[in-house]
DNA sequence: TTATTTTTTTAGATTTGTCTAAATTATAAT
DNA sequence: ATTATAATTTAGACAAATCTAAAAAAATAA
């Protein structure tokens, strides 16, 4: 089956929301996609027709097996393009999400397989998010935000928020990137800021805002 | 101003038809775009509203200065992507046109400038068609089809039809590619076939059909 | 349990891009 | 100069994707 750009954006949004909350509501989707709830209802009815999700009026929606596979195909395209934009075209990684939102809808399977090969079959995109393989399999990363990390618990930076602009600049200055080993030494309740220890570096301070945009995997 | 995918496809089609025939008709466009003449009329009225072309009901259409600039932007994107697909992803050049038809509509100027840089500022796409620069300037190639070339007139292959599938295979077998020096030794009126001389090679035979899909610049 | 608030759906309208069938205009033929 | 043919436009319809305003249902509070 073939999906329009609008349909693909809905499918991807449902998939994303479904990760944290298995049942996705109309209002959640409307917020995620910047549309009105009435438009969401219309689209859900159309996608139900196409048999890729279970939609129960008033009770929310959930992608079925086919729907999930389609979503992972779109996510694969999105993340491969993001990797291309950063690794080959030398974009900063806070600029690529918007462009990949468009590129992900180019629908040639052969294009994506060749792109994957050209890029050397990357496992993760520039934000640390795993790239599904051509059959839709993807490693489930179990990472939490640095803000949620316990004190004195060593962890490695495994991801960053893909939407926030200006993040690369501040992380470069703080000498933090994906793969950096970190540990929270002190947390201030006053403003949520953190004192962080990085190997061979003096203690550095991170704001709550910043810590919420960095994701880590505890060791 | 911003243009939809449908609008961009019309603009590009008008530009192409306008090259051989300054005044473009509704039926020509309808054939080129595989739509009905009535749909063309509707779109021409919309594009006239946007002031990128001169459209006189019953008398055809012509892009104005703004329209031509927009067209060249789309053509630039199309041809840069084609170059990328062949040079980097190793597609055969008969497969790339369809994919570039989609990629050309991704609308980030920064993306295209970086892609151009990444590719080393190529001057022509895989079919020998010139790539406009970022301000829309493009060398005007004056090439004719090999079928139209005069006998005994040396010429160099400067382009191939970008739409015909199977062309790379036969040209590889005949040892013809862009840059090859050719000369027609004999033309058979019976079937329009040609006897061609290529440097250091025995005479080869080309069908009329094939000769019409190869473009040359007389020396 | 009833009333209030919030969420969601329905009804009806709009824009874009397409179509078919009919009417109109231009062009070619007699 | 009519008439016939071909090209083009208009009229009216439709699907996709969106919206606003109103109605309905569900969740929450009193
Ligand atoms: Mn998108
Ligand atoms: Mn990403
Ligand atoms: Mn196109
Ligand atoms: Mn081309």
According to the model, what pLDDT value does residue A128 have?
95
Can you tell me the mean pLDDT for A98-109? 97
Residue B138: pLDDT over 90:
yes
> Confidence band (pLDDT; 50, 70, 90) for A1?
confident
Shortest alpha-carbon distance between residue B45 and chain A (Å): 26
User: pLDDT digit string (tens) for B15-46?
Assistant: 999 999 889 999 999 999 999 999 999 999 99
> Does A78 fall in a domain?
no
Domain of B176 in residue numbering reads as 144-218
> Chain A contacts of B88, Cβ < 8 Å?
118
Q: Min CA distance, B164 vs chain A (Å)? A: 18
Residue A72 domain-assigned?
no
Residue B118 near chain A (CB below 8 Å): yes
Task: With cut-offs at 50, 70 and 90, classify the pLDDT of residue B142.
Answer: confident
Say whether B106 and A108 touch across the interface (CB within 8 A). Answer: no
Task: Tell whether A12 is covered by a domain.
Answer: yes
pTM, rounded to two decimals:
0.94
Q: In sequence order, what DSSP letters do the residues of chain A get, joined into one string? A: ----HHHHHHHHHHHHHHHH-SSBPHHHHHHHHTS-HHHHHHHHHHHHHTTSEEE-TTS-EEE-HHHHHHHHHHHHHHHHHHHHHHHTT---TTSHHHHHHHHTT---HHHHHHHHHHTT--SB-TTSPBPP-TTS-------EEGGGPPTT--EEEEEE-SS-TTHHHHHHHTT--TT-EEEEEEE-TTT--EEEEETTS--EEE-HHHHTTEEEEE-
Mean of pLDDT over chain A: 96
Q: Is residue B132 part of a domain?
A: no
Q: How many domains does one find in chain A?
A: 2
Kindly report which amino acid residue has its CA closest to the C1' atom of nucleotide C11.
A38
Is position B25 within any domain? yes
Instruction: For residue A105, tell me if it sits in a domain.
Output: no
| Residue B131 pLDDT greater than 90, yes or no | yes
Q: For residue A94, is it within any domain?
A: no
In a domain, B56, yes or no: yes
| CATH number for position A205 | 2.30.30.90
Report the CATH number at residue A56: 1.10.10.10
The reported pLDDT for the residue numbered A140 is 86
> What is the per-residue pLDDT for A61?
98
pLDDT band, very low/low/confident/very high, at B163 (cuts 50, 70, 90): confident
């Amino acid at each position: 089956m073939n999906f329009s750009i609008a349909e693909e954006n809905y499918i991807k949004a449902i998939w994303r929301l479904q990760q944290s909350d298995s049942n996705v509501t109309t209002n959640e989707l409307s917020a995620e996609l910047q549309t009105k709830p009435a438009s969401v209802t219309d689209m859900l009815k159309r996608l139900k027709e196409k048999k890729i999700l279970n939609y129960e009026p008033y009770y929310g929606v959930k992608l079925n097996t086919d729907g999930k596979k389609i979503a992972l195909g779109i996510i694969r395209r999105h993340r491969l393009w993001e990797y291309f934009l950063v690794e080959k075209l030398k974009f900063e990684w806070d600029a690529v999400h918007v462009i990949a939102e468009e590129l992900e809808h180019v629908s040639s399977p052969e294009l994506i397989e060749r792109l994957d090969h050209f890029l050397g079959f990357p496992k993760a995109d520039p934000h640390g998010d795993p790239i599904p393989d051509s059959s839709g399999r993807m490693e489930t990363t179990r990472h939490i935000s640095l803000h949620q990390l316990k004190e004195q618990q060593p962890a490695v930076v495994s991801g960053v928020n893909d939407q926030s602009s200006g993040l690369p600049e501040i992380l470069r200055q703080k000498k933090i990137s994906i793969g950096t080993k970190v540990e929270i030494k002190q947390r201030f309740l006053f403003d949520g800021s953190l004192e962080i220890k990085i190997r061979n570096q003096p203690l550095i301070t991170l704001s709550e805002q910043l810590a919420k945009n960095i994701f880590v995997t505890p060791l």
